[in-house]
């Protein structure tokens, strides 16, 4: 028994030693941890801090872009991503079903709302189920949806459909000054950054910086009443533009209508305040909606980044130079029609000219020959016009606060280039350069730099960070010259001789200049002309100011290659935009009409100088021919009868001296020689005999399928070949040897 007791005591002693050692080691470990505060290299205070400290991101907003009245053009807005929960474990211990139970019904109801086909959405959901996915996002149509669409989807009460909240860049007006504003979108780091337009160039002002809130909570997740550490979010600055949302909408809407009706290749529109240079509206077509950008979106802002030959709008600056030099006498006469420069011949758009007319009438009719005389004879062909064009800013970019601006190129080395530049051919400019130059005419000689950023404001305090003031960039002409040019530009619209008659707006005096520019032919090496030919293959434009007595609006509209019928002119799509924008904008700006309808009619009657055509029906041919000759009109008698049955143009039509008046008699009808006839005159013949006209080319007739003196029958098909005046000359390898002509105005 004693031996057994000794064994028990030995065992107890061994266990005591073991447990004592373990206790000692544990005590040493606790003492070590207490002294060092670390466990396996990890600091316990830090681990505790991490366990009981939580943080949340305080989201900042990207700065907004607003119009001059504070209406948002680009801003951040809540957005949602649609997610389908497929795992049935999400519904565990829940009183309601929280996962998708019927993929077919879900696809059927949801697909139309997220721009997916039912089949593709069903396939997406079924693949997720097959792969045992916990959840799936529902394609591009389910990302970044609006709050309104989210509510519609919620109303379906589809089990398992949830939403993840985010932000997106939103453009409330859709296709609105798109090439000015540009767009911003998420990059690879899921951060929204500017990609085009002002969104890109103002990135440093618009970008935001998220903040953070750090707080403590206990082991049960209850927030402790301690002071939070907060790094406040920094919102981006708000940018106010000079754009006026109303005027921009007038411009965009009218351009959309013309795009639909005439299907042109391009349209450019700019509306500015000539007293300050502030751009009130700027747009171009084709365009796109920055909320839904197509892969082939046209990104170039043509208003500042497209250079082309301007056509006759350039004549207002040639006129200003001649007046400033004291060489323009509006009453002095010259011979219109053609002008010779070395081996080259310049012609008016009305090929035969208007005879000997005054320089004032020549400008109203947009005579190329008048400009050629001014630059070569009155200014001696020296560099004076070049110096004025440089002073008007055509040799360099305007410096407008928009990305991508280019400059045109003035061609002024040879005599032929000096002449063609005077009426807008050869030399290239940009639309914004023309706007800047025209501010000098509308603003008493003071030329204002165009600008589009009004101010930049701190979004939370409304403190103005940057404030833009108008900048005068030169005085190319005197106030007296500017006022005289403005007076003459008004007659281009109000005079019966003027090419600007389509731009009349009831109650307001409009001043401006039309332009019809030729477009270089990309295949010129394989054609007779270096320019495109054919009805409508031009850039048609108008640069106008309103109201003339104190211009508040300066507007440039250009329409390239509209699809015109043979009865339509290029002024129709341009005036459809210009007149709509100007009239609506003047009314919006509360600028009252200065002329009533009666006064305008009286003024118009005073200017008609007896060129309203009377009715000649049932009168004898001889007396009618005599009357037309006395009116300086050209009678074309068709038929061998003694009395007039009908006429073209019809009675009460407004006609100009030298115009053809077609008279249909009561005898047999034979085809006249149409060589040299304009398209307009051919259409008069068509209206008299209901001819079906087919056109080849543009300009003036050189061939006809119905022989001269052949019988004309109602409904005959008349095929005519036309060519620009310069195409009948032998082509040459150098520009100085070519005959140059602007096709029409």
Residues carrying an active site annotation: 312
Contacts of 496 (CB under 8 A, 6+ apart): 604, 607, 608, 609, 611, 654, 656
Q: Is residue 313 packed enough to be buried (19+ CB in 10 Å), middle (13-18) or exposed (0-12)?
A: buried
Radius of gyration from C-alpha coordinates of the chain? 39
Antiparallel, parallel or unpaired: β 700-704 and 511-518: unpaired
Q: How far apart are CA 245 and CA 71, in angstroms?
A: 7
Pull the structure tokens for residue 538: 């031009």
Residue 421 phi, psi dihedral angles, 5° rounding = -60, -35
In whole angstroms, how far apart are CA 167 and each of 60, 61, 170? 10, 9, 9
Give the pairing type, strands 211-216 and 229-231: antiparallel
Residues 6+ positions from 649 with CB-CB distance below 8 Å? 613, 655, 661, 684
Beta strands (DSSP E) in 508-622 are 511-518, 538-546, 553-560
| DSSP H or E segment with residue 455 | strand 453-457
Instruction: For residues 722 and 708, give the distance between their C-alpha atoms in angstroms, rounded to a whole number.
Output: 16
With a CB cutoff of 8 Å and minimum separation 6, the contacts of 681 are 660, 662, 674
**Residues found in the chain:** 745
User: Cβ–Cβ contacts within 10 Å for residue 3, how many?
Assistant: 6
**Cα-Cα-Cα-Cα dihedral sign, residues 276, 281, 287, 290:** positive
| CA–CA gap between residue 697 and residue 683 (Å, rounded) | 15
CB within 8 Å of 265: residues ≥ 6 apart:
560, 561
In whole angstroms, give the CA distance from residue 209 to residue 200. 17
Angle between the 431-442 and 315-324 helix axes, to the nearest 10 degrees?
A: 40
Q: Which residues contact 318 (CB under 8 A, 6 or more apart)?
A: 371, 374, 375, 385, 422, 423
């Amino acid at each position: 028994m004693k031996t057994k007791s000794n064994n028990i005591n030995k065992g107890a002693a061994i266990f005591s030693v073991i447990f004592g050692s373990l206790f000692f080691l544990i005590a040493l470990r606790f003492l070590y941890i207490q002294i060092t505060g670390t466990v396996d290299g990890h600091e316990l205070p830090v681990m505790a801090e991490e366990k009981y400290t939580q943080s949340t991101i305080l989201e900042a907003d990207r700065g907004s872009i607003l119009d001059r009245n504070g209406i948002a053009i680009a801003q951040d807005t809540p957005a949602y991503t649609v997610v389908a929960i497929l795992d049935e474990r999400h519904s565990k211990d829940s009183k309601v079903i929280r996962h998708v139970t019927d993929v077919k019904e879900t696809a059927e109801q949801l697909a139309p709302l997220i721009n997916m086909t039912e089949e593709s959405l069903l396939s997406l959901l079924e693949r997720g189920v097959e792969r045992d996915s916990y959840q799936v996002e529902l394609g591009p149509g389910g990302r970044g949806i609006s709050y309104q669409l989210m509510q519609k989807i919620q109303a379906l009460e589809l089990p398992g459909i949830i939403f993840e909240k985010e932000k997106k860049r939103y453009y409330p007006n859709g296709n609105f000054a798109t090439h000015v504003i540009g767009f911003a979108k998420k990059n690879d780091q899921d951060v929204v950054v500017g990609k085009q337009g002002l969104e890109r160039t103002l990135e440093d002002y618009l970008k935001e910086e998220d903040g953070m809130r750090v707080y403590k909570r206990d082991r049960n997740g209850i927030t402790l009443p301690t002071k939070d550490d907060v790094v406040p979010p920094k919102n981006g600055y708000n940018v106010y533009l000079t754009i006026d949302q109303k005027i921009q909408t007038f411009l965009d809407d009218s351009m959309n209508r013309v795009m639909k009706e005439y299907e042109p290749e391009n349209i450019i529109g700019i509306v500015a305040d000539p007293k300050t240079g502030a751009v009130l509206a700027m747009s171009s077509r084709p365009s796109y909606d920055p909320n839904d950008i197509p892969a082939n979106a046209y990104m170039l802002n043509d208003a500042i980044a497209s250079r082309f030959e301007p056509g006759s709008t350039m004549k207002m600056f040639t006129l200003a130079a001649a007046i400033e030099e004291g060489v323009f006498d509006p009453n002095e006469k010259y011979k219109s029609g053609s002008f010779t420069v070395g081996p080259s011949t310049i012609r008016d758009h009305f090929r035969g000219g208007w005879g000997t007319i005054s320089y004032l009438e020549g400008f109203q009719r947009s005579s190329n020959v008048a400009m050629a005389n001014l630059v070569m004879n009155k200014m001696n062909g020296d560099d004076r016009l070049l110096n004025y064009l440089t002073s008007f800013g055509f040799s360099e970019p305007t410096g407008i606060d928009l990305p991508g601006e280019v400059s045109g190129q003035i061609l002024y080395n040879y005599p032929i280039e000096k002449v063609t530049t005077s009426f807008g051919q050869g030399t290239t400019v940009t639309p914004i350069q023309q706007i800047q130059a025209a501010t000098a005419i509308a603003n008493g000689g003071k030329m204002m730099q165009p600008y589009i950023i009004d101010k930049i404001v701190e979004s939370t305090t409304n403190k103005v960070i940057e404030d833009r003031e108008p900048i005068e960039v030169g005085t190319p002409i005197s106030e007296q010259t500017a006022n005289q040019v403005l007076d003459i530009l008004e007659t281009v619209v109000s005079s019966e001789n003027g090419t600007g008659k389509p731009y009349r707006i009831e109650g307001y005096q409009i001043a401006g200049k039309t332009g019809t520019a030729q477009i270089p032919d990309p295949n010129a090496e394989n054609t007779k002309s270096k320019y495109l030919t054919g009805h409508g293959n031009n850039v048609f434009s108008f640069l106008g100011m309103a109201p003339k007595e104190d211009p508040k609006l300066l507007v440039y509209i250009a329409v390239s290659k509209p699809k015109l019928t043979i009865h339509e002119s290029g002024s129709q799509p341009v005036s459809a935009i210009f007149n709509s924008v100007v009239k609506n904008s003047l009314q919006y700006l509360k600028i009252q009409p200065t002329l009533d309808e009666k006064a305008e009619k009286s003024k118009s009657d005073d200017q008609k100088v007896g060129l309203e055509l009377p009715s000649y029906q049932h009168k004898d041919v001889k007396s009618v021919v005599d009357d037309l000759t006395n009116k300086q009109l050209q009678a074309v008698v068709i038929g061998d009868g003694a009395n007039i049955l009908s006429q073209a143009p019809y009675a009460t039509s407004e006609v100009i001296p030298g115009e053809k008046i077609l008279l249909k008699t009561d005898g047999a009808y034979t085809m006249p020689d149409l060589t040299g006839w304009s398209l307009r005159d051919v259409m008069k013949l068509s209206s008299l005999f209901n001819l079906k006209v087919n056109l080849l080319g543009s300009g003036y007739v050189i061939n006809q399928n119905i022989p001269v003196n052949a019988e004309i029958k109602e409904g005959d098909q008349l095929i005519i070949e036309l060519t620009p005046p310069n195409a009948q000359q032998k082509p040459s390898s150098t520009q100085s040897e070519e005959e140059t002509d602007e096709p029409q105005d």
